């Protein structure tokens, strides 16, 4: 399917996506994936926000990267094994772990790139998106092709999905598989710039791949890019979006290139 068929992609390109709210941006240090981090990115002008999701033992969908609380919170344990009553008491630099529903409600005109990180999160995430009426403003991806197929089955063709993850190493070497990958229902390819194979770094994002994707009406988003020079290089190649933790750097690069889009001030704009 083509990107132009989905409202999610109707903003001018290149799209700037704040990874986990912009974890490398100084005001967000130590509070990745919190509502406060996403609000900070929003206030900087970002309207595309990236988050991972997991489901708690009782089916609550949380915006959180890791499978466990241990690394960034003051509590321990695997999210899938813990009830929401416990998870919601965890703190990330004083901030709580947000529910996906909170992000959708608190930032009603933001769009979310959602990476489903665990099998148990597929059905609850689909339910949240349906209940929130949010299909038009999300793109869902996963490193697991099984999860991706499942969420497509649950939510149907109105849902924008991202191809990526499995098989990225083959993209550089097997043209037939590139064609198959570009023929998936996903309107966007989300990939790293390089992939380490047999101890060496292989370039994935090439002019040929960008051209092939564009011929099929698909976008290419590259993650996670925090260096200004690399941002310029990828934008010169014609990629359609960059995912970054260094959201101040990405904003500055796009401003320099005359490609930064100031968000409109409308009735749904969050005021603080």
Tokens of 210: 């960008």
Nearest to 221 by CA among 246, 241, 244: 241
Closest CA to 87 of 53, 112, 60: 60
List phi, psi (to 5°) of 85.
Answer: -55, -35
Residue 90 burial (C-beta neighbours within 10 Å; 0-12, 13-18, 19+) = buried
Please tell me the distance from the alpha carbon of residue 171 to that of residue 193, in angstroms, as a whole number. Answer: 12
Alpha-carbon distance 210 to 225, whole Å?
17
Which residues are annotated as catalytic? 19, 65
Pairing of the two strands 194-197 and 200-203: antiparallel
Q: Pinpoint the alpha helices (H) of 13-138.
A: 35-43, 84-87, 100-106, 122-132
Asked if residues 55 and 121 have their Cβ atoms less than 8 Å apart, the reply is: yes
Residues 6+ apart with CB under 8 A from 76: 68, 69, 70
């Amino acid at each position: 399917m083509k990107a132009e068929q989905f409202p999610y992609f109707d903003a001018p390109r290149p799209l700037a996506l704040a990874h986990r709210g912009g974890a490398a941006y100084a005001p967000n240090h130590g509070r990745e994936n919190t509502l406060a981090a996403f609000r900070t990115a929003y206030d900087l002008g970002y309207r595309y926000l990236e988050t991972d999701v997991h489901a708690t033992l009782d089916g609550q969908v949380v915006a959180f990267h890791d499978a466990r609380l241990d690394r960034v919170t003051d509590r321990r344990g695997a999210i899938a094994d813990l009830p929401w009553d416990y998870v919601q008491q965890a703190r990330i630099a004083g901030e709580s772990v947000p529910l996906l529903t909170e992000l959708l409600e608190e930032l009603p005109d933001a769009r979310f790139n959602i990476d489903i990180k665990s099998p148990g999160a597929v059905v609850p995430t689909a339910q949240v998106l349906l209940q929130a009426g949010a299909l038009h403003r999300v793109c869902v991806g996963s490193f697991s092709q099984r999860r991706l197929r499942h969420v497509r089955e649950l939510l149907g063709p109105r849902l924008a999905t991202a191809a990526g993850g499995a098989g990225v190493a083959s993209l550089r070497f097997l043209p037939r598989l590139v064609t198959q990958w570009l023929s998936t229902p996903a309107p966007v390819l989300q990939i790293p710039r390089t992939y380490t194979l047999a101890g060496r770094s292989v370039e994935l994002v090439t002019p040929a791949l960008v051209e092939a994707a564009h011929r099929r009406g698909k976008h290419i988003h590259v993650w996670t890019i925090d260096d200004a020079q690399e941002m310029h290089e990828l934008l010169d190649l014609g990629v359609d979006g960059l995912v970054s933790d260094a959201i101040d750097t990405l904003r500055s690069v796009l401003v320099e290139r005359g490609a930064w889009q100031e968000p409109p001030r409308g009735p749904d704009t969050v005021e603080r």
